[in-house]
């Protein structure tokens, strides 16, 4: 018996019901977080999205995994990696853009919710930012210049930005964020 010829219908297709469900559930999570809902549970999210809770459980399994998916979607590619020709200027722009992003109430509520779920899910908040930071350092190395190790850059830039945003009442301002670069790259 020969395999059936491949048709457009047999292939995975973008969009469709699955994409609509994902979009509705993601929107429901964002709305509930911005409404500062007391209880973020799968039944509450499903009701807000207009889908059955079983659909959400089957696709994501837990609130933590759902928040991770929302965050991955939200944080991927939203901050452009600067390329000014100067590592210092790139890092200052990157840090100030990240501070602005973390000062946004919707972003902050998502980050805090993910951190609240603990475990491996919390890493999604910084993963894309760390990749962007690493890209800037690698680009500078390709120019023939020395750079601090990625761990040091993460500790000097990402750690204080996320700490201030998540665990204090002080918003990380772009001006303050730029000063972090001077600690990483002293003159």
- What does the angle CA 79 – CA 140 – CA 132 come to, to the nearest 5 degrees? 25
Q: What pLDDT is recorded for position 77?
A: 61
Of 19 and 145, more confident: 145
* Per-residue pLDDT at 8 exceeds 80: no
* Per-residue pLDDT at 10 exceeds 60: no
Q: What pLDDT is recorded for position 9?
A: 35
Evaluate whether 31 touches 23 at the Cβ level (below 8 Å): no
Q: Which of 143, 147, 142, 169 is nearest to 157 (CA)?
A: 147
Structure tokens at 20: 């609509």
Q: What pLDDT is recorded for position 78?
A: 62
Question: Per residue in 92-128, pLDDT tens?
Answer: 999 999 999 999 888 888 888 888 777 677 777 778 8
Calculate what percentage of the chain has a pLDDT beyond 90: 49
Q: Which of 77, 59, 95, 55 is nearest to 181 (CA)?
A: 95
Question: Per residue in 71-101, pLDDT tens?
Answer: 888 777 666 789 999 999 999 999 999 999 9
Provide the whole-model pTM: 0.75
Q: What pLDDT is recorded for position 153?
A: 97
Q: What pLDDT is recorded for position 172?
A: 95
- First-to-final CA distance of the chain: 72
Burial (CB < 10 A; 0-12, 13-18, 19+), residue 17, is: exposed
Q: Which of 27, 42, 36 is nearest to 105 (CA)?
A: 36
Residues 74, 107: Cα–Cα separation, whole Å: 8
> Count of CB atoms within 10 A of residue 21's CB?
18
Evaluate whether 40 touches 33 at the Cβ level (below 8 Å): yes
**DSSP character at residue 121:** G
Residues 61, 121: Cα–Cα separation, whole Å: 13
What CA–CA distances, in Å, run from 95 to 155, 162, 177?
Answer: 13, 11, 5
Q: What pLDDT is recorded for position 154?
A: 96
> Across residues 128-135, what is the average pLDDT?
90
């Amino acid at each position: 018996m020969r395999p059936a010829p491949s048709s457009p219908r047999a292939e995975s297709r973008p969009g469709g019901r699955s994409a609509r469900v994902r979009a509705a559930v993601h929107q429901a999570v964002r709305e509930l977080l911005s409404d500062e809902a007391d209880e973020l549970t799968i039944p509450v999210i499903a009701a807000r999205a207009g889908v059955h809770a079983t659909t959400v459980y089957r696709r994501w399994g837990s609130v933590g995994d759902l928040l991770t998916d929302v965050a991955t979607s939200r944080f991927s590619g939203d901050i452009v990696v600067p390329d000014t020709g100067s590592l210092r200027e790139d890092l200052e722009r990157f840090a100030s853009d990240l501070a602005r992003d973390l000062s946004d109430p919707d972003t902050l509520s998502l980050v805090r919710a993910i951190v609240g779920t603990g475990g491996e899910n919390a890493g999604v908040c910084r993963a894309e930012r760390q990749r962007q930071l690493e890209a800037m350092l690698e680009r500078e190395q390709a120019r023939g210049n020395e750079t601090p190790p990625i761990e040091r850059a993460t500790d000097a830039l990402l750690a204080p930005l996320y700490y201030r945003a998540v665990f204090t009442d002080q918003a990380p301002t772009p001006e303050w964020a730029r000063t972090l670069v001077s600690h990483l790259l002293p003159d």
